[in-house]
Chain A
Amino acid sequence: KAGVTQTPRYLIKTRGQQVTLSCSPISGHRSVSWYQQTPGQGLQFLFEYFSETQRNKGNFPGRFSGRQFSNSRSEMNVSTLELGDSALYLCASSPRTVTYEQYFGPGTRLTVT
């Protein structure tokens, strides 16, 4: 099976702009989660989507939003970018069986200038 793919891999944006990141999960996985990874804060959970519905949400401001499509592909949007949003954004899919194991994509490296 093909792994989780994320596009783009690298992105440079200016403060105040918005950005949309895309994630394609492993075939058959209906759960898609998004994480933000920074050197200071580690891996922080943003939200999870399952069958097009947001199932869980982390402690991030409303500028961070997401959605999932009927084919399980997911997008994450960040509006009004701030310098502190510079991070590696990771998408992970899960078969959601007995345990909530995550299969991560390579991430999108976002730099806000």
Chain B
Amino acid sequence: TQLLEQSPQFLSIQEGENLTVYCNSSSVFSSLQWYRQEPGEGPVLLVTVVTGGEVKKLKRLTFQFGDARKDSSLHITAAQPGDTGLYLCAGETSGSRLTFGEGTQLTVNP
């Protein structure tokens, strides 16, 4: 069973600060996805990375896939209260199954 470890589990920061969330595994993934979930709602897909070393930017969010396709990071610049939520990474295996990390609960205080 593939295991995806996310760190940190909880993060509370002030508006305007930068942060990085990490997603690590010993397994190789064919793709890795990041989702954000807000209370009372289902997760919403933010980005999919496919190629080792790939970097994608979504406004103030920067996603990177590790060269070996075993890990990924999410960096948020100048965090805002609207960024508050549960961030989940999910790795896709060659058998077309997704394994989710346990999530990082981010709180951005005004």
The interface of chain A, by Cβ under 8 A from chain B, is 4, 33, 35, 42-45, 48, 55-56, 59, 90, 92, 96, 98-107
Is the pair A106, B48 in contact by a Cβ cutoff of 8 Å? no
Q: What CA separation (Å) do A67 and B95 show in the bound complex?
A: 21
* A-B residue pair count with CB separations less than 8 angstroms: 58
| CB <8 Å contact, A99 and B42 | no
Q: Are A92 and B42 in contact (CB under 8 A)?
A: yes
Residues from chain A with Cβ under 8 Å of B88 in the complex: 43
- From residue 71 to 89 of chain B, which have CB atoms closer than 8 A to chain A? 88
- CB within 8 Å of A: which B5-63 residues: 30-31, 33, 35, 40-45, 48, 50
* Separation of A98 and B92 alpha carbons in the complex (Å): 11
Q: Which residues of B contact A (CB under 8 A)?
A: 1, 30-31, 33, 35, 40-45, 48, 50, 88, 90, 92, 95-103
Q: A42-B100, A56-B97 are in contact. Are A100 and B31 (CB under 8 A)?
A: yes
Q: In the complex, which residue of chain A has the Cβ closest to the Cβ of B42? A: A104
Closest to B45 in A: A101
Contact of B101 among A42, A48, A92, A104 (CB under 8 A): A42
Q: In the docked arrangement, what's the CA distance between A107 and B98, Å?
A: 18
Given the complex of chains A and B, what is the CA–CA distance between A103 and B44 in angstroms? Answer: 7
Cα–Cα distance between A99 and B33 once the two chains are bound (Å)? 9
Report Cα–Cα, A33/B78, bound state, in Å. Answer: 35
Given A100-B92, A106-B42, A107-B42, answer yes or no on A42-B103 (Cβ-Cβ < 8 Å). yes
Q: Identify the interface centre among A42, A45, A59, A90: most chain B CB within 10 Å of its CB.
A: A42
| Beta-carbon contact of B50 and A99 below 8 Å | yes
B97 touches A45 (CB 8 A): yes
Residue of chain B at shortest CB distance from A6: B42
Please indicate which of the listed interface residues A59, A90, A98, A101 has the most CB atoms of chain B within 10 Å of its own CB. Answer: A101
